[in-house]
Amino acid sequence: MVCGCAGAGKSRVIREWVAERGSERWALLLHDRSEHEWAAVDGTGHAIDIYSLGESLAELMRSCASCSFREALTDAILTIAGMRRFDRLIVECSGLVEATMAAAVFNDAIADEEPLAGLARLDQLVTVVDAATVWEGVRSADALGERGMSGGEDDTRVLSELLVEQIEHCSLIALNRSEAIDGNCRERVITLLRYLNPEAEVLLAADRVAGAARILAPRDRAEHGISFQPGWAKLIDGNDSLPESSQEWSTGVFRASRPFHPERLWRCVEEDWPGVLRCKGYFWLASQPDRCFSWEQTAGSRHFEWVGHWWVATPQPEWPTNEAFLRRLKSQWTIEFGDRRQELACIGYGADQETLFARLKRCLLTTDELLLGEEAWRRFADPFERATQEAGSREDETDPE
């Protein structure tokens, strides 16, 4: 499966792989051909030139109103697999598709023992990145709609969100047009990709022979699905597989057990965080002590979300009982706060991480505030709660009757 923003060069890269495929019979499944170089394909001319070598062209239209992305993709793959004419299927996803959605089609089929799991496996999930524009893209606050890429009125994503998500969740990264930038810029882009996704191999699309060989190599344990651990998650887990920090690049995790004061944290996140390219993790607020929140930030966007309750606020009979969970929970537990904690992983370029972490530390409850107790904490003015309620009201207003 091949993902990447519109204009990244997915079609060009696929054509180069096709030229190196040898005697294998390939099928190509397009998610949306309106956005790329297959736009003129209509069964004549260019299409015949490309697909006269025993390949088949199928199209999965994004505008399918009667089925979800997962259903449409599953049905299309099953149909092509049922032809029993092809050795390999290349799926070119729309530029708006998040890679996790594509991976979930196969992971869920394996977990649920659906027919798809017996007919096809996901060997590679590739993200194509345009070397000439990715650095600007991951720092952009432009809404997708401003770039002519929006998936509709409800698509509020910004470009940096989509790019970072596609980079973080793939098994291979194809760096397209690397020859268009100088050596220093190319090294900076490659370093960025390795910080965001240290597990993915970075291939230069210009080396199509080596790239095709790597794409054709089956992924280890492909029959068990695909999983991801982006750079931010490795930082939180203490994994040392990321590139070393340097004068320009910095990585680190803000950790604390005390809760944040909601108003002080709100003011902090409303301020500029210069140089921070990625920040993600989990946090808790004194005013909502039972709730675990996630924080997700790129250079162009910031979001928080309530993702569930901390285990200390969950009845013990509802806890998982496997040993791995209990060992991990024990390592995270404190006598005072249970498993509640602040863990925010940061990746920055030219960022003053020490100053940022000092700002976050000042948002924690003071000793005097801690002594007030949870009942008093819950009465703190909470901009996060207000923002959640306002967002819910807007959703209710837009829901059809």
Distance CA 371, CA 68 (A): 51
Mean pLDDT, range 24-40, rounded to an integer: 63
Chain segment 335-371, per-residue pLDDT in tens: 999 999 999 999 999 999 999 999 999 999 999 999 9
Chain segment 212-244, per-residue pLDDT in tens: 777 777 777 666 778 889 999 999 998 877 887
224 vs 279, higher pLDDT: 279
Chain segment 125-142, per-residue pLDDT in tens: 999 999 999 999 999 998
Burial class (CB in 10 A: 0-12, 13-18, 19+), 117: middle
The arrangement of strands across the sheet holding 126-130 comes to: 56-59, 26-30, 88-92, 2-3, 126-130, 172-176, 201-204
Q: Which tokens hold the place of 298? A: 């790129």
Other beta carbons within 10 angstroms of residue 357's beta carbon come to 17
Q: Is-contact 200 172, C-beta < 8 A? A: yes
17 vs 48, higher pLDDT: 17
Strands 342-349 and 276-285: antiparallel
Would you call 395 helix, strand, or coil by DSSP? helix
Mean pLDDT of the chain: 84
Distance CA 256, CA 358 (A): 12
- The candidate with the shortest Cα–Cα distance to 96, out of 8, 168, 17, is 8
Of the listed ranges 19-33, 84-98, 192-206, 364-378, the one predicted with least confidence: 19-33
What lies within 8 Å, CB to CB, of 367 at 6+ separation is: none
Q: Which tokens hold the place of 70? A: 């997962």
**What is the DSSP code string of 231-285?**
HHHHHHHT---SPPP-SSEEEEEEEESSPBPHHHHHHHHHS--TTEEEEEEEEEE
pLDDT at 23: 77
Residue 43, phi-psi category: left (phi > 0), alpha (psi -120 to 50), beta (remainder): left
Would you call 197 helix, strand, or coil by DSSP? coil
How far CA 84 is from CA of 76, 79, 124, in Å, comes to 13, 9, 21
Give first-to-last CA distance, the chain, whole Å: 37
Q: Which tokens hold the place of 311? A: 């285990």
- The candidate with the shortest Cα–Cα distance to 256, out of 363, 376, 382, is 363
Q: Is-contact 35 6, C-beta < 8 A? A: yes
Chain segment 157-169, per-residue pLDDT in tens: 899 999 999 999 9
Residue 345, H or E segment: strand 342-349
Q: Each residue of 123-158: b (16+ CB within 10 Å) or e?
A: bbbbbbbbbbbbbebbbbeebbeebebebeeeeebb
pLDDT at 161: 92
pLDDT at 264: 98
Q: Is-contact 197 173, C-beta < 8 A? A: yes
Global pTM value: 0.86
Residue 394, H or E segment: helix 383-398
Distance CA 278, CA 297 (A): 6
